[in-house]
Amino acid sequence: MEAPLIGQAALVTGGGQGIGRAIGLRLAAEQMHIAVVDRDGECAEAVAAEIRAIGGQALAITADVTAVPDRERMFAATLAAFGRLDVLVNNAGILRTGDPLAVTEEHWDVVMDVNARATYFCCQHALRHMIAQRSGRVVNIASAAGKSATTIHHPIYNISKAAVIAMTRTLAHAAAPAGVRINAVCPGMIDTPMQDAVDTAFAELRGVLPAAIRAERVARIPLGHSASPAAVAEVVVFLIGPGAYYMTGQAINVTGGMIMY
């Protein structure tokens, strides 16, 4: 069995708001030390301050996960601050809407650079350390969109999240002999600023109000409602904990039944 989470260190990308913030706070509640990484330094510091306010240890790091020097710096800063790295949560991501036949190469590059390329190379950086110490866990935040093209209006996002699931499985196989586990979480409709932006963008495309888009999407969820970011954070804390010691290479849905495979 793996060790309890108390005193372990986690790095969470995109940790300044939404799902990333919820994950950081939830892991801090397990008495883990948290490196909150975000491109918006003020948001990162605000979450780190929330963690400190509940008695936790937190470090705010301003970084762009697509930049090699920033990636190197955020891992180095985490190790310098906490003396260890036990968990990486790749949560940073972006979404752009558009017609599939109108997608430009710039659209492709921007979304794939953050959601796929940066996620892979963050994994690579963490795994070099974790494999050497023969312990560690990675959780990649994918999406229901990576299993089923839930809408045609964010085509490259769908592709990028399918890539996250594929890299999770590949790297899990590679890291397993060292006892390092890698899993993915596939959220569905979660109440975040990103979801609000998606509703607004879709509403503009279709000439309706954002509330109509939200109601239409909720109607497709078997449980009949969206969820808070805490729903994703609970699954993350399970996957990195000792109770999931025999799980690796999985892509776990948090979709209210919208995706069941």
Residues assigned a catalytic role? 157
Strands (E), 63-163: 87-90, 137-141
Type of residue numbered 107:
H
Sign of CA dihedral 154, 162, 237, 11: negative
Sorted by sequence, the CB contacts under 8 Å of residue 54 that are 6+ apart come out as 25, 28, 29
**Ordered strands of the 137-141 beta sheet:** 58-62, 33-38, 9-13, 87-90, 137-141, 181-187, 251-254
Residue among 192, 107, 200 nearest 143 (CA): 192
